[in-house]
Amino acid sequence: MGKRVGIVGAAVTPFKGRWVEKTYYELAQWATADALKDAGISPNEVDGAFYAIYNDIFERTCIPEHPLQGILGLQNKFGIRITNGGATGAYTMSAAHAYVAAGRFDVVLVLGVEKATDCFDFQSMSATPEVIKSIGWSGDSFFEQKLGWTAADSYAEVILAYKDEHPDDLKPEISAAISSQLSMQVRTNPYAQRQFDQVTPEEVLNSRVVAYPFKELEICVYSEGAAALVMAEEETAKAISRNTGQPVVWITGLGEANEHSFAGKNQKVMHRILSDHLAAQRAYKMAGIKSPIDEIDIVELHDAFVPQLEVTMAEMGFVPLGRADSLIEDGIMTPGGKLSVNPCGGLIYCGHAVGASNIMSAWSARSELIKQGKRRALVHGTGSTVAQYTAALILSQE
């Protein structure tokens, strides 16, 4: 076991559907400046940077992090970019933790930034089809891209296979209730793309089908924005905490898993998100958690799609597989329930600025732990084809 690692500063920029006013350079600098200010330190005190940027095509350059090193004041220091599909942010936090825990660095910056909607389809004169196309280049390039692979249809495969096994679970009215609830929760997040876009369950049910079975109001929205954390080893973290007066939020558990990307015998089990299950179990073991539903207070979960949120909650052990609807039916995640799930509104309402998303989730989990005086939170990132990748972190407050 290495050194203890804590989060001592965090910030996000507003997430927006489009930032014509700012490039990703400025978004990155903005989030970094605010996170360092939150930790009460300057760039001189940061030993290195971990960049979470998912997709070269979004930023229109193949080494998108290189211009950032200097404008963040980190020239001549360590800098590494992580890219792991939708789980980019969570994996980047995992990597940063490993370096600090190993004693390589005392203080590091974790920065996620993405600018997705500069992509533009000149045929439909709208951004979204081109954003989907850009993400479509992430599918298998020999056998699947030319079939029209998309992130949505690959996650839909998993959800429909789950429905084959559990036909009575994931009822449309439950998904609609969850989406509506998230839209209410987002009202207190001033950085959210859809802070004032509250929807009723009926509106969710009536929203258009984008990729069967997913409806528009059950799907995360593409965002532009940045999120940053400052992580520090134990003694430095405590010193920073004494200075800022903010408690350290410790990273006490981590787990990751990447499944097979093709299906069938000995390959991906299509009706499971085993990556969620394995990553969560590994994080629980490291954090000493035996009963997640009793020992975790806040979940900031990568909700690419509401039905996937439900299956992920089951895979992570909060409800049984096949009974994901009990999240609402038994009041587990409804207001006043045992768990607060995505108080920031999740990626569906706060927005999905891919590399920044999971870091935004960690920013929210940290601030909710401190604000609510709660003990433990889980932060989760999912990504790649057929929900192949997961990274999960346990955040704890003493």
Least distance CB 88 / another protein (angstroms): 19
- Minimum CB distance to another protein smaller for 163 or for 338: 163
- Minimum CB distance to another protein smaller for 25 or for 120: 120
Least distance CB 148 / another protein (angstroms): 4
Would you tell me how many other CB atoms lie within 10 Å of the CB of residue 367?
18
**Taking a C-beta distance cutoff of 8 angstroms, is the pair 295, 377 a contact?**
no
At 253, list the tokens.
């558990």
Q: Which residues contact 357 (CB under 8 A, 6 or more apart)?
A: 86, 89, 112, 114, 223, 227, 302, 347, 351, 381
- Minimum CB distance to another protein smaller for 49 or for 347: 347
Least distance CB 55 / another protein (angstroms): 11
Least distance CB 85 / another protein (angstroms): 17
- Give residues in contact with another protein (CB under 8 A): 20-21, 57, 60, 120-125, 128-130, 132-133, 135-136, 140, 142-144, 146-150, 152-153, 156-157, 160-161, 163-164, 196-198, 203, 206-213, 215-216, 262-267, 270-271
Least distance CB 206 / another protein (angstroms): 6
Least distance CB 62 / another protein (angstroms): 9
At 131, list the tokens.
């954003």
Q: Which residues contact 123 (CB under 8 A, 6 or more apart)?
A: 129
At 105, list the tokens.
């660095």
- Minimum CB distance to another protein smaller for 211 or for 332: 211
- Minimum CB distance to another protein smaller for 197 or for 295: 197
Alpha-carbon 177 to chain mean position = 21
- Minimum CB distance to another protein smaller for 16 or for 366: 16
Q: Which residues contact 333 (CB under 8 A, 6 or more apart)?
A: 178, 181, 313, 327, 339, 340, 341
At 221, list the tokens.
């929205």
